[in-house]
Amino acid sequence: MEQKINKNVIGMWDALKGGLVLVVILGHTFATAAEICQVSEWPILFRLISKSQGVVIFTFFIISGYLFKPKKNGIGKQYFSYLRIYLIASVGIVFAQIIHNYFSGTAWNEQLGRLILGLFYGATSHSVLNGVRLISPVAMWFFLVFMNGSLILQWIMRLKKEKIRNMVIFGGVIIFFLWYGLTGQWGKYPFTDAPLFPIQTGVAVGLMYIGYLLKENKVLFRPFKLCFCLTAAMFALAVFYYGDMDIVNNQYRLGILDWAGGICGAVTLIAVYIRICNPDWKIIEWLMWLGRRSMWIIPIHSVETMLIRWDERQSLAAAGVWPAAIIIFILRCTIIVFICQVIEKLQRKIQIKKRKTAV
């Protein structure tokens, strides 16, 4: 008899995270290639990947919630381990800006103040503070939202009654969408520009909590009813086609329907992945490598974008939009993998040194 494979292992979840990270980088790459080549009509794959970014981010938060465990102790330590990565990456981004200024022949501190403000304020690409346009440090918003969202969820989980937890989390999300719909702010970028992404964090906490509930109720590994799956998938596809989700700018074309459709899409994606993928596949192993390092890859991706400024590489325009996208993607991935390996070597050295000191 064939042995049943256990797919609820950390490697499988990391592989999915790795795949999602790749889609995010691919989305940024396509946008850059289209900008360099000044393409008015994006190729269909570019549009598809760009539009799927919302579902990808939703899936990432739901997986984080699935792997979430309420803790009584050590919440601060865990938060500071994330904060340390954020601060190291911020220093890297600031240095990347200085190096970029040096090679582009501008003053060393050009744009530096707006960038540092952007890092500590939590800026989107539309953020303005006292009339000063802030610089958005690429994907770092995600890191801040994840970090603060995890901390808030830990606090909320201390509420003993599940009903109250549900009210706090889902009530917050519903209030946001009511406010969003009733105040006539629909379509205004950004919807709110408060420091440190409070609304984005609230939405993310809701998604993480859904991931947590999926685990607690063992939903993902249960056999699904076909009609339920088809309805969820159809709803997700309809919302994907007619709606538009931009979690970083709090923009949802269909309001709360976008949010619900995004959740259906993300859960369907996870359920299909669990059923189809085999841990023995080589590609799963590669994706796992990326997924395990996703908390480093997101900041590294921000640093390499600030350093190289792919959108300024006009020489790539002559190659055409597809070759430009492929070249940028390959170079990007190579740089990210290289920096990851350097960090790992450093960590290993520190580990050995610590051990020697302890002995």
Binding site for another protein (CB under 8 A): 6, 8-14, 17, 67-74, 77-78, 81, 215, 279-280, 284-285, 288-289, 291-295, 344, 347-348, 351-352, 355
Measure CA 164 to chain center.
28
Q: Which is nearer to another protein, 32 or 294 (CB)?
A: 294
From start to end of 186-314, where are the E strands? 245-246, 251-252
Q: Which is nearer to another protein, 114 or 293 (CB)?
A: 293
Q: Which is nearer to another protein, 165 or 309 (CB)?
A: 165
Q: How many CA atoms lie within 13 A of 255 on its CB side?
A: 13
Residue 324 vs residues 36, 138, 297: alpha-carbon distances, Å = 8, 20, 22
Residue 201 vs residues 118, 145, 147, 323: alpha-carbon distances, Å = 17, 5, 9, 37
Residue 227 falls in which region: left (phi positive, over 0), alpha (psi -120 to 50) or beta:
alpha
What phi, psi does 4 have (nearest 5°)?
-75, 130
- Whether 15 contacts 287, CB under 8 Å: yes
Instruction: Please name the residues in contact with 43: beta carbons below 8 A apart, sequence gap of 6 or more.
Output: 321, 322
Q: Which is nearer to another protein, 81 or 109 (CB)?
A: 81
| Shortest spacing between CB 302 and another protein, in angstroms | 18
CA-only gyration radius of the chain, Å: 21
CA–CA dist 205, 169 (Å, integer): 7
- Whether 75 contacts 97, CB under 8 Å: no
Q: Which is nearer to another protein, 77 or 222 (CB)?
A: 77
Q: Which is nearer to another protein, 17 or 332 (CB)?
A: 17
CA proximity to 344, closest of 266, 301, 282, 289: 289
**Residue length, the chain?**
359
| Shortest spacing between CB 289 and another protein, in angstroms | 6
Q: Which is nearer to another protein, 11 or 43 (CB)?
A: 11
| Shortest spacing between CB 295 and another protein, in angstroms | 6
